[in-house]
Amino acid sequence: MSANRRSTTGAIGEQLAAEHLTRRGFQILERNYRSRWGELDIIACDRQRIVFCEVKCRIAARELRDPLESVHAQKRAKLRRMAARWLAERDHPRVNQLRFDAIGVTLALDGRLLRLEHLENAF
C-alpha cells in the first residue's frame, strides 16, 4: 500500500475513532500531537479523565491481522513518554485519572466501517 493511501486510511480511522469518543461523551482536546518520539493520535477528556488514544486502522481485504496487534510494548512506552510531554506542555483540564486506550478500526475496501473495537485501559 502506498504511503499516501496508508495516510488516508489512517485519517479515516482517526476520524471514526474521534466521532466514537465524542458520542461517548468525550471532548477531543487534540489530534495528531507530535513529539520527538512520534505522534499521539487523539487526546480526549470527560469530566473524570484524560484519555490518550492510539488508533490503528486496517483494510480488511489487505490485512489479515487485527489492527490492535501493532500496539506492542515498545509502542506503549513511546505513547507514555509522549503523554508525559503533552501534559507538561499543554494547559489541560485537571482530572483525577489518566488512561491509555486503543481503538482498532477495520474498513472494507470501499471505505465502509466494518468494525470498531475500543479497548479502555489498554495499557
Q: Which amino acid is at 78?
A: K
Instruction: Give the Cβ contact number of residue 39 at 10 Å.
Output: 13
Task: Specify the fold of 3-119.
Answer: Trna Endonuclease; Chain: A, domain 1 (3.40.1350)
Residue 26: CB atoms within 10 Å: 21
When pLDDT is cut at 50, 70 and 90, the band that residue 63 belongs to is low
Q: Are 41 and 102 in contact (CB under 8 A)?
A: no
| pLDDT for 1 beyond 60 | no
pLDDT reading at 95 higher than 80: yes
Q: Where are the domains of the chain?
A: 3-119
pLDDT at 115: 92
In this model, does residue 70 exceed pLDDT 80? no
What would the mean pLDDT of 47-76 be, rounded to a whole number?
A: 81
User: Residue ranges of the alpha helices (H) in 2-117?
Assistant: 3-23, 73-89
Q: Kindly tell me if the per-residue pLDDT of 61 is higher than 90.
A: no
